[in-house]
Amino acid sequence: MEEEFRIIISGGGTGGHIFPALSIANAIRALIPSAKILFVGAEGRMEMQRVPAAGYEIKGLPICGFDRKNLLKNVVVLYKIWKSQRMAKKIIRQFRPMVAVGVGGYASGPTLNKAAEMGIPCLIQEQNSYAGVTNKLLAKKAQKICVAYEGMERFFPADKIMLTGNPVRQTLLDTTMTREEALRSFGLSADKKTVLLVGGSLGARTINESVLGHLKEVEASGLQFIWQTGKYYSQHIADQLKEKGQPQNLKVMDFITDMGAAYKAADLVISRAGASSISEFCLIGKPVILVPSPNVAEDHQTKNAMALVNRGAALFVSDAEAPEKLINLAIATVRDDAKLKSLSENVLKMALPNSAEIIAKEVIKLAKAAKA
C-alpha cells in the first residue's frame, strides 16, 4: 500500500489556497513517509514558486479566469481551459494518482474534472464561509468536501460535508518564543502594548492609508506598532514617512518573514479577512480587528469576518470606513484589557485544531477504499 501511495493536489493562486495545500501534503507525508505527491498549479501564479520551495514537484497549467470587463479576451480564456483539460488528463495518466485533492483556485477545475472522469476519487477543501466558484462546480464530482465553517449545506451536498477547519502554517503553532523575545527581535520594548498591522503578503492599500492618515495619533498613543506594508507599497510609504516624519514607536517592514514572532509580539492584530488568516487567529487566540478586502469574489472576506464578529470573536471595520476609524479603534481596543480578554477567549472557541491531519486521514481513507 505505502509503496504506491500517490496523490495529486491542485489549486492555488493565493497564499490562502497554497498554505492549506502544503499543510495537507506535509500531513500526508507524516502519516505515509513514502507517499508520492504531485502538485498541479496555474502557470505564472505564486504556487509555481512556493510549492518547489517547500520541497514538492509541481506541474503548471495555462489556466486563467474569465475577463468580465473585456469579453473578447475570453476567446483566449476558453482556449486555455481546453488546453488545460488536455494537459491535466496527460498529467493524471502519467502520474496515476489514487486520489485528487482540490484546494480551490483556477488549476483545481480542470485537474479534478479530469480525475473524476477517469474514475479517481476526489476530495475538495473549501477555506471560506462562502464557497468559491470552482469548488461549487466540482462538488457534484467530489466524494468528500472538507469545510471550515458551519452551514455550508447552502453550497454543497450535506452528506459529503466534513467540518475540518483550515490547515494553517505549522511554524505559527510551533514557535517557542516568549512575548518578550518576540518583541526584542523587532527591536521593541517588552513593557508597551503592541499593535500588528498586516495586509497580506502583497499589503493592503486601505490599511496603509489608515496609518499614514493618523501618524500623530500613533505617535501620541504610548503604544508600539509593527506595520507590514507589503513590498508593492513600500517605496511610496517610505517617501511619505520621509516627508511627514516617522514616529519612533512605528516599526515599518515591507514583509515579515517570521509571522509566528509577529503574532507572539502583538496584543492586537489588524488584518484582512482571508480564510487562512482567520483560522490562524482562532488557533492562537489572538484579538483581531478585521478589515475585509472588497476586491474578492462574492465579497467572501466580509462573510468570513462576520462569522467571527457575530460570536464576539473579532471586531469589524469596513474598507470604506477604515481610513477614518481604524487606528482610533485599535488604540482604544488595545488599552481595554477586558475587551482583549473577551476577544481572545471567544476566538479560541472557534478553533478547529489538527485540520491538516484530519484531511490527510480522509485522503488516505479514500485511497484505501478505491484500492479495495
Percent of the chain with pLDDT over 70: 97
pLDDT band at 3 (very low <50, low <70, confident <90, very high): low
pLDDT tens column, 342-352 = 999 999 999 98
**In b/e form, how buried is each residue of 355-365, taking b as 16+ CB within 10 angstroms?**
bbbbbbebbbe
Q: What is the pLDDT of residue 124?
A: 97
Mean pLDDT, rounded, for 282-309: 90
Q: How far does Cα 213 stand from its chain's mean position?
A: 28
**In whole angstroms, how far apart are CA 193 and each of 15, 189, 333?**
29, 9, 11
pLDDT band at 1 (very low <50, low <70, confident <90, very high): very low
Average pLDDT, the chain: 91
Q: Which residues contact 292 (CB under 8 A, 6 or more apart)?
A: 272, 273, 299, 301, 302, 304, 305, 316, 318, 319
Q: Tell me which amino acid residue 213 is.
A: G
pLDDT over 90 at 291, yes or no: yes
pLDDT tens column, 57-95 = 999 999 887 766 777 778 888 999 999 999 999 999 999
pLDDT over 50 at 322, yes or no: yes
Pairwise CA distance, residues 368 & 98, whole Å: 9
pLDDT tens column, 203-248 = 688 999 999 999 999 999 999 999 999 888 889 999 999 999 999 9
Q: Tell me which amino acid residue 5 is.
A: F
Angle, helices 322-334 vs 337-348, to 10°: value is 100
Q: Which residues contact 90 (CB under 8 A, 6 or more apart)?
A: none
Mean pLDDT, rounded, for 138-160: 94
Pairwise CA distance, residues 76 & 213, whole Å: 43
Q: How far does Cα 116 stand from its chain's mean position?
A: 26
Q: Are 234 and 254 in contact (CB under 8 A)?
A: yes
Q: What is the pLDDT of residue 105?
A: 86
Q: Which three cell numbers stand for residue 5?
A: 501511495
Q: What are phi and psi of 255, to 5 degrees?
A: -150, 135
The secondary element (H helix, E strand) that includes residue 37 is strand 36-42
